């Protein structure tokens, strides 16, 4: 066939085929994966997926719509009967009509919903993982880690080509405070079956990085960001092994891997959860801003305290400089009075000591004079010596020795003729 069709013409042919062969209504089961909650009176848009339970992957998906005139009635009835809202992750049974539009392509128009269906596989699987983590006692381990005061060294796990990673880095670089951040990317697969294994490998690479000069690890915080993509792709993050690794990780982990209405198991185990990569950057900047404000306040307080202390000390020195001469004058006069008093006391004590010693010398002189041999001789006593030694007894004398007897008027010399002892 050589005829060339425009895209509109081809889509028109497809629409005619579908309208001709799918003119009935069909009950179809699947999981709500990507839904938008409209304001009152708005249309409902979403995505219906089918998962291969054994391979744990999505094998089919279709865009679904529910017009406002029908959506409000179905929503209220579903909430009343199932106790749930039409949100992602729940398994639903929908009555649909197959439609095809040249511009909007293939979709399923929702006509009714069976409220007896239970929660979908995504929500059920997520709940089972969280229950197992709580049973293992590790669900809140990472959340209990202290967040460093300064978040300057940031390890990022993301795809190198992801727009979210670029937005994250751009917002950090263009922060209003002028803060500098050291950001290092650890590339990982962020979509598909290899997500858990790839992120775990990146986490291991971060923790085994060489340590800095301070002996600490190179990073203060780990940020897992994704950004963009369909919500159904977030099911790849619902892995027990990955959640357990994050829960027990020694560094605080922040997640920003979805959109405003998306959640994964990782959001429940990470230290801090934000919705988007830009929100993660904003959190880090704000955290640094708060710490900077605190440091600035401490600086102001220390500076003010130091100025007051200097002023007080200057005033004290001025007071001492004014008072010191008066104190010194009084001290000098007091010392002079003390010295004068001491001099008087020492002088009186010296004079008393001299008088006592003079009196003692006079007594000694009198005693010595009383012992003068010349006084004895005047009284008629004599002193006999032999060889210059006073003779006190007959012992030691021999016949023929010469004795000298001293009297008041002279000396008498005699010789020992006979010694007679009593």
Q: Which residues pair with 404 in a beta bridge?
A: 385, 413
Closest CA to 53 of 235, 266, 200: 235
Res 5 pLDDT > 70:
yes
Give the C-alpha separation, 419 to 422, whole Å: 10
What is the pLDDT, as a whole number, of residue 118? 46
* Digit-coded pLDDT (tens) for 145-168: 999 988 999 999 999 888 889 999
Give the C-alpha separation, 148 to 252, whole Å: 9
Give the C-alpha separation, 279 to 17, whole Å: 46
The CATH number, out of the four listed (3.50.50.60, 1.10.1380.10, 2.40.50.140, 1.10.10.60), of the domain defined by the range 7-119: 2.40.50.140
Q: Which residues pair with 218 in a beta bridge?
A: none
Closest CA to 188 of 178, 179, 177, 197: 197
Tokens of 69: 């005139």
Give the C-alpha separation, 197 to 219, whole Å: 22
**Average pLDDT of the segment spanning 301-309:** 90
Give the C-alpha separation, 262 to 267, whole Å: 10
What is the pLDDT, as a whole number, of residue 213? 56
Q: Do residues 151 and 288 touch, judged by C-beta distance below 8 A?
A: yes
CATH number of 125-143+150-291: 3.40.50.2300
Tokens of 106: 């293939």
Model pTM greater than 0.85? no
Give the C-alpha separation, 258 to 252, whole Å: 19
> 255 Cβ partners below 8 Å, 6+ apart?
223, 224, 225, 264, 266, 267, 270, 272, 273, 274, 280
Q: Which residue has the tokens 């381990």?
A: 141
Helix, coil or strand: residue 408:
coil
Give the C-alpha separation, 196 to 181, whole Å: 27
Query: Lowest-confidence range among 75-84, 142-151, 177-186, 260-269?
Result: 75-84
Give the C-alpha separation, 175 to 30, whole Å: 44
Res 216 pLDDT > 70:
no
The ranges assigned to domains in the chain are 7-119, 125-143+150-291, 375-415
Closest CA to 243 of 221, 268, 226: 268
Give the C-alpha separation, 43 to 72, whole Å: 9
Is 38 exposed, middle or buried, given 0-12, 13-18 or 19+ CB atoms closer than 10 A?
middle
What is the pLDDT, as a whole number, of residue 250? 94
Helix, coil or strand: residue 108:
strand
Give the C-alpha separation, 415 to 382, whole Å: 16
* Digit-coded pLDDT (tens) for 380-390: 788 888 888 88
Tokens of 220: 């203060």
Query: Lowest-confidence range among 32-36, 184-188, 221-225, 365-369?
Result: 365-369
Would you give the DSSP letter of residue 228?
Answer: S
Closest CA to 198 of 230, 153, 236: 236
Tokens of 207: 């923790």
Q: Do residues 239 and 227 touch, judged by C-beta distance below 8 A?
A: no
Dihedral angle of Cα 72, 100, 96, 228, to the nearest 10 degrees: -60
Tokens of 8: 């509109």
């Amino acid at each position: 066939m050589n005829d060339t069709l425009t895209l509109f013409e081809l889509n028109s042919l497809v629409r005619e085929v579908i309208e001709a062969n799918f003119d009935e209504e069909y009950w179809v089961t699947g999981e709500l994966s990507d839904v938008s909650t409209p304001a009152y009176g708005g249309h409902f848009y979403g995505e219906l997926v089918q998962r291969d339970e054994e391979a744990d992957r999505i094998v089919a998906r279709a865009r679904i719509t529910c017009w406002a005139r029908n959506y409000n009635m179905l929503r209220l009835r579903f909430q009343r009967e199932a106790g749930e809202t039409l949100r992602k992750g729940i398994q639903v049974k929908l009555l649909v009509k197959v439609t095809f539009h040249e511009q909007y392509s293939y979709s399923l128009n929702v006509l009714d919903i069976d409220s007896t269906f239970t929660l979908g596989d995504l929500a059920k699987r997520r709940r089972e993982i969280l229950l197992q983590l709580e049973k293992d006692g590790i669900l809140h381990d990472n959340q209990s880690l202290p967040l460093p005061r300064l978040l300057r060294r940031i390890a990022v796990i993301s795809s190198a080509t992801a727009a979210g990673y670029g937005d994250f880095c751009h917002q950090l670089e263009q922060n209003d405070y002028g803060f500098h951040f050291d950001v290092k990317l650890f590339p990982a697969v962020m979509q598909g079956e290899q997500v858990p294994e790839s992120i775990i490998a990146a986490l291991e690479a971060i923790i085994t990085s060489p340590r800095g000069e301070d002996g600490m690890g190179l990073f203060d915080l780990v940020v897992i960001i994704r950004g963009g993509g369909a919500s159904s792709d977030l099911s790849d993050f619902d892995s027990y092994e990955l959640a357990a690794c994050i829960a027990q990780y020694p560094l605080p982990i922040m997640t920003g891997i979805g959109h405003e209405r998306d959640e994964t198991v990782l959001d429940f185990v990470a230290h801090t959860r934000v919705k988007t990569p830009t929100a993660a950057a904003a959190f880090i900047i704000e955290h640094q801003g708060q710490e900077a404000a605190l440091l600035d306040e401490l600086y102001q307080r220390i500076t003010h305290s130091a100025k007051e202390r200097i002023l007080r000390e200057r005033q004290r020195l001025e007071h001492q400089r004014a008072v010191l001469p008066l104190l010194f004058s009084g001290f000098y006069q007091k010392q002079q009075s003390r010295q004068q008093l001491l001099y008087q006391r020492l002088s009186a004590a010296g004079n008393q000591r001299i008088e006592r010693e003079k009196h003692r010398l006079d007594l000694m002189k009198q005693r010595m004079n009383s012992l003068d041999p010349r006084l004895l001789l005047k009284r008629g006593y004599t002193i006999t010596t032999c060889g210059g030694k006073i003779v006190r007894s007959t012992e030691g004398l021999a016949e023929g020795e010469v004795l000298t007897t001293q009297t008041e008027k002279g000396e008498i010399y005699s010789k020992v003729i006979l010694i007679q002892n009593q």
